[in-house]
Amino acid sequence: MSKKILDPLGVSAFCESMAMMVQSGIQTDEAISLLQGSRDSASGPMETALREMKQSVDEGESLSAAMEKSGVFPDYAVKMIRVGELSGHLENILFRLARYYTDQKTVADKLRNAVTYPAVMLILIIVVLTVMLTTVLPSFKEVYEAMSGSLAASSYRYIGWANVLCWIALGVMIVLALALLGGLVLWKTGHRGPVEAVLRRIPITARILESMGLFRFTGALGTFLASGRLQDEAVLDSIPMTDCAPVEEKLKKVVRSMEEGHGISQASCDADLFEPLYGRMLLAGERSGNLEGVLGRLTEHLGQNCSELVDRLVSVVDPILSGVLMATVGLSLLSVMLPLIGMMSSVG
């Protein structure tokens, strides 16, 4: 049975702890023992992985091989640590991985919150509309049906309109809720293609997907360059990390341009990979010999841009859903109160 992959925060904590101990000159086997501590009987995924890794390292395997054998670390982390071991940059790679997975956790939490809020609003709207259709409107209808004469003549028309309005709104909200649920299920089970195809048709979600792809690419590229990889090799190795088809297509153009002898900054500009501001940052970093540092700052900017785009999406969805809820409930209540006001005026 396959083991559950550690969440980004767990991977980040492990990498940072290992990096600090490697920096202090502690050997890998001793570092793992220190991380394991006295929790030999603990049964959590990290504790189990540390026990298995300690055994593997004691048998002469490398840290990356032990991590891979434990089955709880992402393939990217294992691959990068293997590159760090071979290139002699293990300490730097571990620190970069810690920062990379921390940033990944921040962006993932932001997206999770952005999905959770509309889901809660949809459920609230569905509940309110259901109560209106099953309790409020039928109660008023019974009251008006008990009346006779001209006082109740217009009541049924208003309540009929209210019923139609509530049923339409309820149907739309249920469809949206089912679409959201279906999208989440497909996304969680790895069938992201249909979901991304829909999201790419919406301008703001398409920008979020592209920004996230660039964020993952620059983080991976900086880590590969820190391990001593050549620029063209680093770009090729970083392409699978983007997990975004439009970004991957642009990166393929970047690779072809680099094969023709252009630097990464010029190739990125030619392929319109980044916005002009970010492109100029990359160009300055390459010409000044500080490409890794610029990529680190660029990754931070892209992460902030993802958060801003998600906040903007929430700021659009929030008033729309709130407006639908208030308009539907308000008009429904108004439709059942108007006949009552008319009857009171007639009696007076």
Of 44-48, 61-65, 127-131, 168-172, which range is least confident? 44-48
Asked which of 15-29, 91-105, 189-203 is least confident by mean pLDDT, the reply is 189-203
What pLDDT, on the 0 to 100 scale, is given for residue 204?
Answer: 82
Look at the block and give the residue holding tokens 């790679």: 93
Categorize the per-residue pLDDT at 242 as very low, low, confident or very high, splitting at 50, 70 and 90: confident
Mean pLDDT on 165-175: 84
Residue 305 has pLDDT above 60, yes or no: yes
At residue 119, the 3 state secondary structure works out as helix
Convert the pLDDT of each residue in 50-97 to its tens digit: 888 888 888 888 888 888 888 888 888 888 888 888 878 888 888 888
What's this model's pTM, rounded to 2 decimal places?
A: 0.72
Task: Answer whether residue 171 shows pLDDT above 80.
Answer: yes
Percent of the chain with pLDDT over 70: 88
Phi, psi of 97 (to 5 degrees): -65, -40
Q: What span, in angstroms and rounded, lies between the C-alpha atoms of 249 and 301?
A: 22
Identify the CA nearest to 295 among candidates 319, 325, 320, 273: 273
Q: What is the mean pLDDT of residues 276-295?
A: 83
CA distance 207 to 185: 22
pLDDT at 229 over 50: yes
HSE (side-chain half, CA atoms, 13 Å) at 74? 18
**Residue 157 vs residue 168, higher pLDDT:** 168
- The two three-digit tokens of residue 288, written as one number: 């000044």
Percent of the chain residues topping a pLDDT of 90: 0
- Name the pLDDT band for 39 (thresholds 50, 70, 90): low
Evaluate whether 272 touches 247 at the Cβ level (below 8 Å).
Answer: no
Name the least confident of 73-82, 143-152, 159-168: 143-152
CA–CA separation, 339 vs 162, rounded Å? 12
Look up residue 89 and give its two tokens.
């940059």
- The confidence score (pLDDT) of residue 153 equals 52
Lowest-pLDDT range of 4-13, 83-92, 317-326: 317-326
Q: Answer for the pair 67, 82: CB distance below 8 angstroms, yes or no.
A: no
29 pLDDT more than 80: yes
Mean confidence (pLDDT) of the chain: 80
pLDDT at 288 over 60: yes
Q: What is the pLDDT at residue 60?
A: 86
Where does the pLDDT of residue 245 fall: very low under 50, low under 70, confident under 90, or very high at 90 and above?
Answer: confident
Question: Is the pLDDT at 129 greater than 50, yes or no?
Answer: yes
The 3-class SS string of 36-83 reads HCCCCCCCCHHHHHHHHHHHHHHCCCCHHHHHHHHCCCCHHHHHHHHH
Identify the architecture of domain 103-348 in CATH. Up-down Bundle (1.20)
Domain boundaries, the chain: 8-73, 103-348
Q: Give the pLDDT score at 150.
A: 46
pLDDT value of position 296: 82
How confident is residue 34, by pLDDT bands cut at 50, 70 and 90? confident
The Cα–Cα gap between 250 and 236 comes to: 12
Average pLDDT over residues 292-315: 82
